[in-house]
Amino acid sequence: MTRKNDIFVPEGYFQQLEQRLQSLPQREVKPTVIQRVSPWLAYAASLAVLVGLANFIFGRSAATEEDNTWDYVSYLSQSLDPDGQIELVETADLTDEEIRSFLIASNISVEQLALLDYEEDY
């Protein structure tokens, strides 16, 4: 079996590709929304882990799920936004596609996602 020549490109593709790639430095590279918020997301995730650990260690697991959720939200919002300037987003308003796009752009792996799902169940 020959290794090459089984795939090809449209005619003149490589000349056009070279020109297109060489024009990249002229474009202004703007950070994406995810790149801008990712340090904050990492910060929030670390806090969530710490709060979760504290809850676990100090035996707060007896509280209801609703109470725990409220604790997380109020603690995180106070830590991240002491002046209350950020409006909380209702997740119910997000479509499945928006959630998928966010997860894909966040570079979370399937394994991490499965772990989150597991943690949610137990």
Partner 1 sequence: MESPEQVFNGIVKEYSERLYWHVRRMVGSHEDADDLLQDIFLKIWTALPSFRGEAQLYTWVWRIATNESLNWLRREKLRAALHFASADDLVVRRIEADPYFNGTAAQRELAKAVARLPEKQRQVFIMRWWDELSYEQISAITGTSVGALKASYHIAQEKLKLNLSESEVSK
Binding site for partner 1 (CB under 8 A): 1-10, 14, 17-18, 20-22, 24-25, 29, 100, 103-104, 107-110, 113
Residue 99 CB, shortest distance to partner 1, in Å, is 8
CB nearer partner 1, residue 29 or residue 62 = 29
Determine contact, residues 72/48, Cβ cutoff 8 Å. yes
For the CB of residue 7, give the shortest distance to partner 1 in the complex, in Å. Answer: 5
Measure the CA–CA gap between 114 and 25, rounded to whole angstroms: 39
**Quick one: 7 or 62, whose CB is closer to partner 1?**
7
Which distant-in-sequence residues (6+ apart) come within 8 Å of 28 by Cβ?
none
Cα distances from 83 to residues 36, 43, 78, in angstroms, run 20, 17, 8
Taking the complex as a whole, how short is the minimal distance between the CB of residue 22 and partner 1, in angstroms? Answer: 5
Q: Which is nearer to partner 1, 49 or 108 (CB)?
A: 108
Q: Phi/psi zone of residue 85: left (φ > 0), alpha (ψ -120 to 50 degrees), beta?
A: alpha
Please, what is the minimum distance in Å from the beta carbon of residue 88 to partner 1?
24
